[in-house]
């Protein structure tokens, strides 16, 4: 039976941290093998699970033992394994499944990039161009299509789950129009339009992204008559004249891209329009271990960064937005409620 004791002394804790790759690899292996899907409501032995997932029983027991130390599955006194709240999130059919996110965070390119973190810290630049001879997303789509597929699935799953929280959080009862800037497949926009039947919306993202927009938004969908799908790059232009602009988890690129996006929003928005920026923060949040890790991964792959509350506020006010409040949407996201000043378009034009 696997047991987890009290907090280890510092030397052992440091050893555990140094072996963190083993934990990530174990979670990835369980996801790829489909162990969580094979395990039902009743405990199962390693032999039974091995037969289901077409693996060898003894190595599978070793994998499950390692995962149980971290609360991913639980081993009982008879050596059988049962689900925990964590392991259930590896199931494909769980409504809050994180299987695709786990696979994305442990894709093969990450194992090439992480050992070069010291170089990224020295230079402040992405290591991907040196590794693969091209920028990250070009590499992903040209040379690693399977990883690109995993990325799309992970982003879709995360967006679907957070969209419900965002729609419940935002009060848009006074708004007639909303633009989802860099909104991916439009899950947030769809949730908002369902919540506010009198509101119209626009979805802006790159052409390959919006080509796969949420079916509710596409021609023939339940919301299609209230939506304009705009293929484009928010760093170039943003649809004009909306009451509300939603900017969720995209201001984590390089600073120039962030400045251009905010400038374009201010130029497009009418004076007094709301701009709601929703981001993961690396401080003042119960998810700091996750967000700080993602912050480092962004440095490695695109040269970007997650923000502290202060650094995000500095970028928003520096662009000319007035921040009214900063509030948590859920344990992972914070919303910066901003307004465009009265001279917004004129000011942005001269920026």
Q: Tell me the three-class secondary structure of 255-320, residue by residue.
A: HHHHHHHHHHHHHHCCCCCEEEEEECECCCCCCHHHHHHHHHHHHHHCCCCCECHHHHHHHHHHHC
Residue 43 confidence class, pLDDT cut points 50, 70, 90: very high
Higher pLDDT, 315 or 347: 315
Phi, psi of 320 (to 5 degrees): 110, 5
pLDDT at 351: 30
How many C-beta atoms lie closer than 10 Å to residue 14's C-beta?
Answer: 11
Residue 27 confidence class, pLDDT cut points 50, 70, 90: very high
pLDDT at 216: 97
Q: Which residues contact 72 (CB under 8 A, 6 or more apart)?
A: 26, 27, 30, 84, 86, 87, 90
Segment 116-121 shows an average pLDDT of: 98
Using a 10 angstrom Cβ sphere, with 0-12 exposed, 13-18 middle and 19 or more buried, the burial of residue 10 is exposed
Of 69, 78, 71, the C-alpha closest to 42 is 78
Does the pLDDT of residue 68 top 90, yes or no? yes
Does the pLDDT of residue 92 top 80, yes or no? yes
pLDDT at 331: 86
pLDDT at 343: 58
Residue 6 confidence class, pLDDT cut points 50, 70, 90: confident
Does the pLDDT of residue 133 top 70, yes or no? yes
Per-residue model confidence as pLDDT tens digits over 189-234: 999 999 999 999 999 999 988 999 999 999 999 999 999 999 999 9
Per-residue model confidence as pLDDT tens digits over 295-313: 999 999 999 999 999 999 9
pLDDT at 56: 98
Of 172, 220, 212, the C-alpha closest to 194 is 172
Q: Which residues contact 156 (CB under 8 A, 6 or more apart)?
A: 100, 184, 185, 187
pLDDT at 221: 97
Tokens of 211: 């080509």
Rounded distance between C-alpha atoms, residue 326 and residue 337, angstroms: 6
Tokens of 71: 């609360």
Which letter, b or e, does each residue of 136-159 get, where b requires 16 or more Cβ atoms within 10 Å of its Cβ? beebbeeebeebbebbbebbbbbb
Residue 277 confidence class, pLDDT cut points 50, 70, 90: very high
pLDDT at 5: 61
Q: What is the mean pLDDT of the chain?
A: 93
């Amino acid at each position: 039976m696997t047991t987890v004791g009290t907090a280890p002394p510092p030397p052992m804790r440091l050893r555990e941290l140094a072996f963190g790759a083993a934990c990530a690899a174990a979670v990835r292996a369980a996801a790829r093998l489909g162990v969580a899907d094979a395990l039902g409501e009743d405990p199962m032995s390693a032999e039974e699970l091995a037969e289901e997932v077409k693996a060898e029983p003894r190595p599978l027991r070793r994998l499950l033992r390692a995962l149980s130390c971290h609360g991913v599955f639980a081993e009982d006194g008879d050596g059988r394994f049962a689900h925990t709240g964590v392991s259930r999130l590896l199931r494909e059919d769980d409504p809050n499944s994180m299987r695709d996110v786990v696979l994305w965070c442990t894709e093969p390119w990450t194992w090439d990039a992480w050992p070069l973190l010291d170089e990224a810290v020295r230079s402040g630049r992405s290591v991907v161009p040196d590794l693969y001879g091209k920028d990250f997303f070009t590499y992903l789509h040209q040379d690693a299509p399977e990883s690109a597929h995993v990325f799309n699935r992970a982003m879709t799953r995360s967006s679907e789950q957070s969209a419900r929280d965002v729609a419940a959080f935002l009060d848009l009862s006074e708004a007639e129009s909303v633009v989802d800037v860099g909104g991916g497949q439009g899950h947030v926009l769809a949730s908002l339009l369902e919540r506010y039947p009198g509101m119209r919306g626009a979805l802006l993202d790159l052409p390959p992204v919006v080509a796969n927009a949420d079916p509710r938004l596409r021609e023939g969908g339940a919301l299609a008559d209230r939506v304009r799908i705009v293929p484009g790059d928010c760093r170039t232009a943003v649809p004009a004249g909306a009451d509300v602009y939603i900017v969720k988890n995209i201001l984590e690129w390089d600073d120039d891209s962030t400045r251009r996006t905010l400038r374009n929003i201010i130029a497009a928005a009418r004076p007094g329009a709301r701009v709601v920026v929703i981001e993961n923060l690396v401080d003042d949040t119960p998810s700091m271990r996750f967000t700080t890790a993602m912050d480092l991964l962004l440095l490695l792959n695109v040269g970007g960064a997650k923000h502290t509350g202060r650094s995000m506020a500095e970028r928003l006010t520096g662009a000319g937005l007035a921040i009214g409040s900063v509030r948590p949407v859920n344990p992972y996201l914070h919303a910066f409620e901003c307004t465009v000043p009265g001279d917004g378009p004129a000011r942005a034009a001269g920026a």
